[in-house]
Amino acid sequence: MAELTEAQRIRIARGKAWIDENAAKEPEENAAQMRERCDRFLEEIEGLSEGQLAFVEAEGKWTIREVSLHVAHAIPRVGTLVPLLAGGTEPPPRKPKAGVLGDDPGSFDALLAELRTGFDKAVGVVDSLKDSPDLEPKAEHPFFGHLQCLEWYAFNVLHITVHVAQVQRIKANVGFPG
């Protein structure tokens, strides 16, 4: 990974502190936050035109469609990881990849359906955290290090929160199509 800037190190430290704080909450509280953030993400993107979805605020930045593809890939993937860790299984090591986009299902309606399914999965895994989850197994995150199941669930809440704000920022851009 490239050398991090001071601003990036500060953001990562703040993110890790947020994850630690929220991992200590009751799983149902994080599930409610997760559901609210997922619903908010869908509210932000539903009804956008193809031009709005493809708007690029600056070179090298993601479009709302790309953000949506990333979210559709990443959020349910963590939803698969959480019960695995909570059940005592450490996943095999793999090279962590930040910023991965998922496969494009084609139409935006298909992407919305994929997002809804993935969000339901991500929220629903809270059941695996209710009855004494195993906190020993960990999986590596590319920025936050090795996280256990409660930390991964809290990370997923933070992750969707960041992408809601990203979509809002793109939509607030002066050049965003009306």
The fold of the 9-91+104-172 domain, in CATH, is Four Helix Bundle (Hemerythrin (Met), subunit A) (1.20.120)
Copy the structure tokens of residue 22.
């929220």
The pLDDT of residue 97 is 62
Question: How many whole angstroms separate alpha carbon 85 and alpha carbon 139?
Answer: 8
In this prediction, residue 92 carries a pLDDT of 82
Which residue from 156, 14, 15, 21 is spatially nearest to 85, judged by alpha carbons? 156
Q: What is the pTM of this model?
A: 0.91
Contact 25, 145 (CB under 8 A): no
Taking 70 as the pLDDT cut, the residues of the chain under it are: 1, 95-99
What's the pLDDT at 99? 63
pLDDT given for residue 80 in this prediction = 92
